[in-house]
Amino acid sequence: MANDSTTAATPVRRASRPSRSRQRLTSLAGFLVTLAITFLGLLAITFFIGRIVPIDPVLAVVGDRAPVAVYERVRQEMGLDQPLITQFVSYVGDVATGNFGTSVSTGKPVIEDLARVFPATLEMATLGIILGVLIGVPLGVFAAARRGSWLDQGIRVVGLLGYSVPAFWLGLVGLAVFYARLNWVGGPGRVDIFYDGMVSPITGLILIDSIIVGEWEIFRNAVWHLILPASCLGFFSLAYIARMTRSFMLDQLSQEYVTTARVKGVPERLVIWRHAFRPIRVPLITVIGLSYAGLLEGSVMIETIFSWPGIGNYLTVALLNADMSAVLGSTLVIGAVFIGINKISDVLYRVLDPRAR
């Protein structure tokens, strides 16, 4: 009887427990729904801000001296005579099909312009975040491990400078010292004028494209030009990452398990990197992700100073020319990058921390 009851209870218990594949599908569906809602909200914010700002996109097309009849005709062609909700629905449909409109500044579709300029920003920001992580994380750990020492004070000063130094000042000083005076790095632009256009864009990342076609001289010249702007961006991310790493490490080093490890005679190096550092990897992912997204959208001033043909420079020119299609398209791409990086951070968070699964 006991065996029969156990056998009968087993399938009931299994049936009440959802399958692992169903859980994964539910999680994926929830992720996609959240992503769609977030992106729709981004579309709404971008669209209505674009309609509120005191810039007339029709005047940007026809000019200030166009006749009233021409003005009204272009306004109707652009759909601006329709109610806002109708314009928004049309805008969502256009974005869903990859139609961001035509740029007044370049005369080309905005999606083509963004595909051309975004890789330049991606390349510079990626190198900047790599420098920020490789230098900022160890600095933060060392500062926490030697709290109150001269090393800790120096690293805190570096972090304070990273928060307070204006980007335009740092870029100009870098150009004046390391390019104009010492000639250690390249000047404005991605490459020298002589090499401009010699490598056909494949990925849009000039370092990778030059490697693919075997143009090593252009690769070296591109690295020479990339070092200074990427270092400026890396300095700002370094300061933020080092400061947050120090804060996380100080919290962990005050925990009882660290004191226990030290009492047991565990070497200090292992106490710091194996016991105290491992728990902070999860919050560091969020910090690094936000810093990376900030570099991708906050490089406007650096790109302007270094004449870097990225999305920040493109957005600045679009704003000066009242090119609302380009402005909205750029803003939408930057917002989508933020959403994407945050979602990737959430996935990595779950991978490294089983408690969050």
pLDDT at 63 > cutoff 90: no
Look up residue 161 and give its two tokens: 């400078």
Residue 5 is predicted with a pLDDT of 47
Residue 135 is predicted with a pLDDT of 92
CA distance 350 to 23: 15
Same domain, 144 and 244: yes
Percent of the chain with pLDDT over 90: 11
Give the 3-state secondary structure of residue 100. coil
Same domain, 85 and 216: no
Residue 10 is predicted with a pLDDT of 47
State the residue for tokens 């990342």: 205
Cβ atoms of 300 and 15 closer than 8 Å: no
pLDDT at 8 > cutoff 60: no
Q: How far is CA 183 from the centre of its chain?
A: 30
User: Span 142-154, mean pLDDT?
Assistant: 87
- Of the candidates 96, 128, 163, which is a domain's last residue? 96
| Sequence-ordered alpha helix ranges (H) in 80-109 | 84-96
Does residue 125 lie within any of the structural domains? yes
- pLDDT tens digits, residue range 191-233? 888 887 788 888 888 889 889 888 899 899 999 999 999 999 8
Does residue 9 lie within any of the structural domains? no
Same domain, 45 and 129: no
- Of the candidates 49, 74, 96, which is a domain's last residue? 96
Percent of the chain with pLDDT over 70: 91
CA distance 151 to 239: 14
Same domain, 125 and 213: yes
Residue 137 is predicted with a pLDDT of 92
User: Span 9-20, mean pLDDT?
Assistant: 52
Residue 130 is predicted with a pLDDT of 93
Same domain, 203 and 289: yes
For residue 34, give its domain range.
Answer: 20-96
Provide the whole-model pTM: 0.80
Does residue 60 lie within any of the structural domains? yes
Does residue 103 lie within any of the structural domains? no
Residues 6+ apart with CB under 8 A from 224: 185, 186
How would residue 18 be classed by pLDDT, with cut points 50, 70 and 90?
A: low
Does residue 3 lie within any of the structural domains? no
Same domain, 313 and 239: yes
Residue 16 is predicted with a pLDDT of 46
Same domain, 193 and 310: yes
Q: Which residue from 5, 9, 28 is spatially nearest to 17, judged by alpha carbons?
A: 9
Does residue 190 lie within any of the structural domains? yes
Cβ atoms of 138 and 149 closer than 8 Å: no
Same domain, 166 and 279: yes
Residue 74 is predicted with a pLDDT of 79
From 124-128, 304-308, 321-325, the region with the lowest mean pLDDT: 321-325
pLDDT at 319 > cutoff 90: no
- Of the candidates 44, 66, 96, which is a domain's last residue? 96
Instruction: Write the CATH number for 193.
Output: 1.10.3720.10
- pLDDT tens digits, residue range 293-309? 888 876 788 888 888 88
Same domain, 202 and 80: no
User: Span 76-100, mean pLDDT?
Assistant: 82
Higher pLDDT, 148 or 3: 148
Number of domains forming the structure of the chain: 2
Q: Return the C-alpha torsion angle 305, 310, 316, 317, nearest 10.
A: 100
Cβ atoms of 219 and 207 closer than 8 Å: yes
CA distance 334 to 341: 11
Higher pLDDT, 298 or 190: 190
Does residue 82 lie within any of the structural domains? yes
Give the 3-state secondary structure of residue 300. helix
User: Span 99-108, mean pLDDT?
Assistant: 83
Same domain, 294 and 171: yes
Instruction: Determine how many CB atoms are found less than 10 A away from the CB of residue 344.
Output: 13
User: Span 89-96, mean pLDDT?
Assistant: 84
Same domain, 85 and 116: no
How would residue 134 be classed by pLDDT, with cut points 50, 70 and 90?
A: very high
Average pLDDT, whole number, for the chain?
82
Does residue 156 lie within any of the structural domains? yes
- pLDDT tens digits, residue range 245-265? 999 999 888 888 888 888 888
Same domain, 64 and 147: no
Residue 7 is predicted with a pLDDT of 47
